[in-house]
Structure 1
Amino acid sequence: MPDITPVAIHYRIDPAQTHTHLYRVALTVAAPAAQQEVSLPVWIPGSYLVREFSKNLQSLQAQQGGVPVALQQQDKHRWRVQCVAGTPLVLSYEVAAYDTSVRTAWLDATRGFFNATSLCLRVHGKEGDMHTLEVVQPPALAGWSLATGLEPVQTAPSGFGLYRARDYDELVDCPVEMGPLWRADFTACGVPHQLVVAGAAPSLDGQRLVRDVRRICEEAIRFWHDGQQPPFDKPPFARYVFMLNAVHDGYGGLEHRNSTALICSRSDLPRLGQSDKDIHASEGYTTLLGLVSHEYFHTWNVKRLRPAEFARYDYTKENYTQLLWFFEGFTSYYDDLLLRRAGLIDHATYLKLLAKTINQVLQTPGRLVQSVAQASFDAWVKYYRQDENTPNSTVSYYTKGALVGLCLDLALRQGGRTTLDDVIRALWQRTQGGPMAEADLLAVLQELSGRNWSDEIAQWVHGTQDLPLAELLASHGISLQTDPAPLAQRLGLRVQDNGSLQIKTVLRGGAAEAAGFMAGDEWLALETPGQAWRLHKIDDVPLYAGSATDVTAIVARDRRLLRLPLALPPAQATGDAVRLDVHDAAAAQRWLGTASAV
C-alpha cells in the first residue's frame, strides 16, 4: 500500500473551471504557527524577471475547524493569517490561468498547465517539510491525462491523483501538464524518460521524435558521466519528463530538476511520411532539437551545478549573479554541439548555426558597452525587459556566453592537455554537483591545463573587446569569412516589414542614426533626385535608389511626416556578417566529433 500519511503541507488543485480559466486551490497546513505567514513567489527560477504571480490570485479565505479566520495582507505577495498555533488551517483561493508560456499557468477546455510558483502559496517556516500535491480529475475532463516529475503516491492510470515533494523547492521545480496528451516512454542509458506532447497534429511522427530525443539524452548523459567514479557516474535523477506544448507559432523552454516544459510551433514537429532528407533540411525541427538539448543540459548545468548565489533561492526578490554567461552561455554552446556529436546534424549545419550566433553578437553594438558578466547581473532589468535601445546598451549572455565557451574550448584544445568537456566534468566533481563560483572555474582551468586563465576570463567575460574568434577557429580547421551584411544591418536598422516598413531599433553608429531615424518610425517613401517612391519592405530601398548613394527618407512619426537625408552605405564586407568554412577537415573533425549525420 502507498504511504499516504498526512503531511505538514497539502495542496488540492481542482481544474474544473476550464471556461473561466480558474484553478481552485485548497491548502491545508497541519500545524500552523500562530499568526502564520504565507506568500506566493514573485519569480520562477530559470526566468530572471520579477513576474508578480500574486496578481492572478483571488478570493483568498482561511478557516480553522470550519470557522473563518481573518487574513491581513502584508505586501504585494504576502499574507498573515490570524490563526492559533497547532490547529489545522485551510486556505482556499483561485488562480487565473491565462499565460500560454512555460513560466506561469494556463487552463482552458483543451489543456491545463501550471508551475507551482503560480499556484502554491509558500508556508513560511514550513518550507523544509514534506509537501503533497493532489490534482483532481473532474468528470468533464475524463479524457485527460497528467504528467509531472513529482513522485507519485496514489495516482490513477491517467496520472491524476496524489504526489509528494521533499520540500517546497522540489514542489515548485516540478511543473504539471494536463490534457488529451500524446505520450511515449523510453529509456536513455537505462534511465526511464517520458515525452508528452499537447496540441500535436495527427501527422506527428512520434517514433522519430522519440528516437531523436533519446539520442540527445544519451549524448548528454555520456558527456556528464562516462568515465566518472561513483557517485558521479550516473544522472542525478531517477526519471525525467519532457512536456512539449505544440502551438501554431511559438518557441521556448524552461528547465527543471527532472523535467522541462517546452513550446514549439506545430509545423516544426516531424511528420509521418517525411523523408530523412526533408527532416534534416527542416530548420524548424533542428531548432526544436536544439531546444530539447539546451533544456536537458540544464538538468546538470544550473539545476545542480549552479551559481553560489543560487544555493538557496529567495522567492521574494531578485537573485543576482554574474555567472549566467557560464550557465546559460555554456549551455548554449553545448546544445547544438551535442546535436553534432549525436549525429543529428552534420558539420555544415552546425557551422551554419554557429555562424548565426557569431553574427548575432557582432551585430549588437551593446557588446562594446556591457560585459557579459554585467549582462548576467542585469538580466532582471535588461535581458527580460528589452526595448528599442537594448541592442545598443547590452549583450546577450546566451549568445556571447556561448562564444566565450567556444573560445575557451578551442584555446584549451590548442594547448593539447584538456578540453572544456574535461573542465566542466571536473567542476561537477569539485562542487559535488552543487554551487560554484568563478574562482572554482579558474582553479579547475589551471589544474587541468597547467596555466593561469585569469587574463582570458578578465578580457572575454569582464571586458567588452571582441573575442579572438578568427584565430581560434583557424587553429581548428575553420575559416571565418566576412560577407556584406544585409541592407538593414548596413543601414543600422532592425525593421519589421509586413505590408509597411516599421523601424524597431536604430543601431548605434549606423547610417540611419546619423540620418535621424527613430524606433517607432514608419518608413513611407524614398526620394532620389526628381523621383519619389512608396516603400513596403526593406528590399524596396535598393530597387528605387538605383545608383544613388544620397537619398531622402520620408518617415511618419506621431502623424508628422519627416524628410531625413540618408547616405546609403555600400554593399561591402564590414566584419559584422560572417560565414564559417572548413579548410582542414581533419582538424575540424577532432573538435566536432562524429563524422556524418544519420
Structure 2
Amino acid sequence: MKFPIFVFLLFFADITASAQTNSYEISFENAVHHEAEIKGQFTELKSDTIVFRMARSSPGRYAIHEFAKNVYALKATDGQGTPLTITRPSPYQWNISGHDGIVNISYTLFADRGDGTYSQIDETHAHLNIPATFMYAPELNKRKIEVDFKVREDLDWKIATQMPLVSGTTYTAPDLQYFMDSPVEISDFQMREFEVDTNGSALKVQFVLHHNGTEAELDTYFEKVKKIVLSQREVFDELPDFDYGTYTFLACYLPNASGDGMEHRNSTVLTSTRALSEGGMQNNLGTVSHEFFHIWNVERIRPKSLQPFDFSQANMSGALWFAEGFTSYYTGLTLRRAGLIAPEEYIEGLSKTFNYVWNSPGRQFFNPIEMSYQAPFVDAASSIDPTNRENTFISYYSYGSMLGLALDLSLRNHSNSTVAEDGLDGFMKKVWQIYGKSETPYTLEDLHNTLNEHAGGDFGDRFFNRYIYRSGMPDYESLLESVGAVLQQDSDNPYIGIATELDGDGNGVVKTNPQVGTPAYEANLDKGDVITSINGNSFPTGQELEAFIDQFKVGNTLDISFERNEKAKTASVVLQPDPAYSIQLGETTDKGPSEKQLKRRKDWLKID
C-alpha cells in the first residue's frame, strides 16, 4: 500500500522522536528491604563508548552527595541481549562499550532516607529524588526521558510528580535537567488542590500528603497552605507560569522520614517526623512557606552561578544570602501576613536569629558572599574532621534573613513614599519583573544595580558596600524602633559562653568550641573538656549550666576544675554580661509606639 507523503513524514518523525527518548523502568518487589530494580534503554547511540554516571549533587543542594555508593548488580546488554563490557574509571562512573547502537542497563538501588535529597523505599512508599535514583548518560542530556513506575498495587500506591503523565504509570521529562529536578512520591497518599488566578489564567496548586493522619486533619492543614500561597502571590502580584499548569507539594509527615524541605521548579519535597496531630499542624508550616517562596526566588529569579545545575560536582554561589536568606526572611513574614502567627509571636521570634548573626565572630572572617561560598561544606555535607564553624561561619539562611529584615525596614523608612510603601516587596517585585519572568540568570552586580535603580544610587551603594561586600551590621535598634519594636539587652545577666552535657560520671562535657571573646574562650576552655567541679563543688547535675550561672553576678570569678585528655587542669573564668538581645513590641515599654510607628508596622506585617 502506498502512503501519502505527509503520512510517511509524520510516521518517520514519530519514529525518530521515539528513538531519541531515553527510557527507564523502576519496580519495587523488594521494597521491604529498601531495594528498587531499575532498567534503562538508550538507543541511536553514536559513540563507541557510552559514559554512565550517578549524580554527585542534587538540585537545591550545594554539597557533594555520592549517590553511587547505593548502586549495585549493574548489567549491560546491546539490542540483541549480548552482554557488554563495563569498566569503572571512577567511583561514580561506568563506561559501557561494544554496543550495536543500543545499550540496555539494569541495576539494584538501595534507598532508605526520606528527605529532599535522597530516596527511600519501603512498604510505606517509594520516595524518589531522581539524582539519587537513576543513572544517566551525560552526552544524552538533551534527550526526552520517559519513566514507567511499576507501582505496588497491593499497597494501593499512586504516583505524584511534577512530570507530566504519558499514559498509565509512565511519565516524561523534556530533558535531563528537568528530569533531575522532578521528585516523585509513590504511596497511598491523600491529595487536595485548588486553582489560583494569575494574569487571567487558572493555575492549579496540589498538596499531596503521605501521613498516618486523617482526611479531616489534611482539610484543616490545607486551608493554612492556601493562605501561604495567596499571601506570597501578593508579594509578586502573580504566580509564575508553571510549565504544565500545576504546582505540587509532595509532603511526607511520617516517623520514618527525615526532616527537610527542597524546592524544585514546579514542586517541592516536604518531609517531617511531626504528624499533624503532634505539632505538625503549626510547626510544619515554616517549611511550606520557605519552599513555596522559592518558586520565585531561586527557581526563576536564579543566580547565574547556579545555571545550569552541574550534577557532577558541588555547586557554589555567592548569592545564597539572597536566594536562601531573603527566602528565609519571607518564611516567617508570610506566616504572620497570612494570619497563621500573631504579630508579637513573629517579632519576638526574630530574637534567636538576630542573636546568632549579631554575636557571631564569623563576620570577622567572611562577608555574606563568602558565607554563601561555604555551602558545599555545610549543606548536609559530610566530613569526619572537626571544624571551627562556631567561630568562622554564619548560615547564609540566617545572615541573609537578617539582612532582608534590615533592607525591608530601611526601605520602609525611605524618603520616597512610593519606595517606602512597599518596602522589600517592591524590590523583590522589580527583581522578578527584570530577571524572574524572563528567566534571565542574575549576578550580584545585577542585584546591586537593581537596588540602585529602585531606591537610588546612594541607598543601594550604601547597603551593598557596607553589608554585602563587607560584613558590617545595620542599625537594628533604630530600624526596629521605626515599627514600634524594642531591641534590648540585660547587662546584669551573667554569661559564661559554653554549653555542657552530662557524662556517665555526672561531670559536664563542653559540647562545642567556645566562641572567640567569651569568658570560656578567654579562660582557655575547649570542646571536649570535662568539668568536674566549680568553686570546689561538684558539677551541678540537677540543672542546665546556664541556669546554674544565674546565681552569680557579672564580674564574679569561677574556679573551674576540668580534665582534658585525662589530665587534670584548672581555669579561672570571669563572668561577662550576657550578649543576647530580646526583641519585643514597644507596647511593653512605658512610652509605647507612636501612631506613625504603628502604621508602619501594620503595613509591614499586613495587620488589618
Partner Cα separation in structure 1 for residue 107 and residue 135 of structure 2: 10
> Amino acid of the residue matched to residue 409 of structure 1?
D
**Aligned match for 1:479, one of 486, 490, 497:** 486
Structure 1 unmatched ranges of 5 or more: 156-160, 227-231, 272-281
Q: Answer with 333-342 or 472-481: which moved more.
A: 472-481
**Aligned match for 1:222, one of 209, 234, 237:** 234
Cα gap change, 1:81 to 1:481, in 2 (>3 Å): same
**Aligned match for 1:307, one of 290, 303, 327:** 303
**Which secondary structure does the structure 2 equivalent of 1:67 belong to?**
coil
Contact 2:487-2:581 at 8 Å conserved across structures: no
Are 2:315 and 1:319 aligned? yes
Partner Cα separation in structure 1 for residue 181 and residue 493 of structure 2: 42
Cα gap change, 1:92 to 1:235, in 2 (>3 Å): closer
Tell me how far 1:233 sits from its aligned partner: 7.2
Tell me how far 1:525 sits from its aligned partner: 3.2
Contact 1:365-1:507 at 8 Å conserved across structures: yes
In structure 1, the residue matched to 2:404 is 405
Contact 1:527-1:533 at 8 Å conserved across structures: no
Cα gap change, 1:202 to 1:522, in 2 (>3 Å): farther
TM-score, normalised by the number of residues in structure 2? 0.86
In structure 1, the residue matched to 2:582 is 578
> Amino acid of the residue matched to residue 129 of structure 2?
N
Q: Answer with 477-486 or 364-373: which moved more.
A: 477-486
**Aligned match for 1:455, one of 462, 472, 488:** 462
- Work out the number of aligned pairs and report it: 562
In structure 1, the residue matched to 2:607 is 594
Partner Cα separation in structure 2 for residue 398 and residue 485 of structure 1: 31
Contact 2:499-2:545 at 8 Å conserved across structures: no
Contact 2:531-2:539 at 8 Å conserved across structures: no
TM-score, normalised by the number of residues in structure 1? 0.87
In structure 2, the residue matched to 1:279 is none
**Which secondary structure does the structure 1 equivalent of 2:33 belong to?**
coil
**Which secondary structure does the structure 1 equivalent of 2:457 belong to?**
coil
Partner Cα separation in structure 1 for residue 88 and residue 408 of structure 2: 52
**Aligned match for 1:26, one of 32, 39, 49:** 39
Contact 2:554-2:575 at 8 Å conserved across structures: no
**Aligned match for 2:427, one of 409, 423, 437:** 423
Contact 1:58-1:94 at 8 Å conserved across structures: yes
**Aligned match for 1:258, one of 266, 272, 296:** 266
Are 2:104 and 1:108 aligned? no
Mapping 1:126-205, distance limit 5 Å: 126-139=140-153, 141-155=154-168, 161-189=169-197, 190-202=202-214, 205=217
Partner Cα separation in structure 2 for residue 496 and residue 323 of structure 1: 37
Partner Cα separation in structure 1 for residue 286 and residue 277 of structure 2: 14
Cα gap change, 1:491 to 1:5, in 2 (>3 Å): same
> Amino acid of the residue matched to residue 433 of structure 1?
E
**Aligned match for 1:369, one of 365, 370, 377:** 365
In structure 1, the residue matched to 2:284 is 288
Tell me how far 1:389 sits from its aligned partner: 1.8
Are 2:517 and 1:509 aligned? yes
Tell me how far 1:411 sits from its aligned partner: 1.7
Contact 1:342-1:594 at 8 Å conserved across structures: no
**Which secondary structure does the structure 2 equivalent of 1:36 belong to?**
strand
Contact 1:11-1:134 at 8 Å conserved across structures: yes
- Per-residue CA deviations over 1:94-144 (Å, capped at 9, x if unaligned) read 1110223321111122222111101111212211111011110245x4322
Cα gap change, 1:369 to 1:57, in 2 (>3 Å): same
Partner Cα separation in structure 2 for residue 473 and residue 424 of structure 1: 21
Partner Cα separation in structure 2 for residue 483 and residue 244 of structure 1: 42
Partner Cα separation in structure 1 for residue 499 and residue 472 of structure 2: 23
**Which secondary structure does the structure 2 equivalent of 1:444 belong to?**
helix
Identity of aligned residues (%): 25
Cα gap change, 1:237 to 1:294, in 2 (>3 Å): farther
Are 2:83 and 1:68 aligned? yes
**Which secondary structure does the structure 1 equivalent of 2:331 belong to?**
helix
Mapping 1:40-51, distance limit 5 Å: 40-51=54-65
Cα gap change, 1:235 to 1:177, in 2 (>3 Å): closer
Cα gap change, 1:27 to 1:203, in 2 (>3 Å): closer
Contact 1:481-1:581 at 8 Å conserved across structures: no
Are 2:372 and 1:359 aligned? no
Contact 1:204-1:270 at 8 Å conserved across structures: no
Partner Cα separation in structure 2 for residue 554 and residue 144 of structure 1: 60
In structure 2, the residue matched to 1:468 is 475
Structure 2 unmatched ranges of 5 or more: 1-13, 587-592
Note the aligned Cα RMSD (angstroms).
Answer: 2.7
**Which secondary structure does the structure 2 equivalent of 1:122 belong to?**
coil
Are 2:439 and 1:433 aligned? yes
> Amino acid of the residue matched to residue 428 of structure 2?
I
Partner Cα separation in structure 1 for residue 516 and residue 348 of structure 2: 26
> Amino acid of the residue matched to residue 436 of structure 1?
Y
Tell me how far 1:390 sits from its aligned partner: 0.7
Partner Cα separation in structure 1 for residue 491 and residue 170 of structure 2: 59
Cα gap change, 1:545 to 1:339, in 2 (>3 Å): closer
**Aligned match for 1:206, one of 197, 218, 229:** 218
Partner Cα separation in structure 2 for residue 485 and residue 204 of structure 1: 50
Contact 1:322-1:377 at 8 Å conserved across structures: yes
**Which secondary structure does the structure 1 equivalent of 2:171 belong to?**
strand
Q: Answer with 41-50 or 512-521: which moved more.
A: 512-521
> Amino acid of the residue matched to residue 89 of structure 2?
Q
Tell me how far 1:145 sits from its aligned partner: 2.3
Contact 1:148-1:175 at 8 Å conserved across structures: yes
**Aligned match for 2:497, one of 487, 492, 496:** 492
Cα gap change, 1:108 to 1:560, in 2 (>3 Å): farther
Partner Cα separation in structure 1 for residue 242 and residue 607 of structure 2: 23
Partner Cα separation in structure 1 for residue 285 and residue 328 of structure 2: 13
**Which secondary structure does the structure 1 equivalent of 2:29 belong to?**
strand
Contact 1:382-1:390 at 8 Å conserved across structures: no
Tell me how far 1:380 sits from its aligned partner: 0.9
**Which secondary structure does the structure 2 equivalent of 1:361 belong to?**
helix
Cα gap change, 1:111 to 1:552, in 2 (>3 Å): farther
Contact 1:225-1:234 at 8 Å conserved across structures: no
Partner Cα separation in structure 2 for residue 112 and residue 559 of structure 1: 48
Tell me how far 1:221 sits from its aligned partner: 2.3
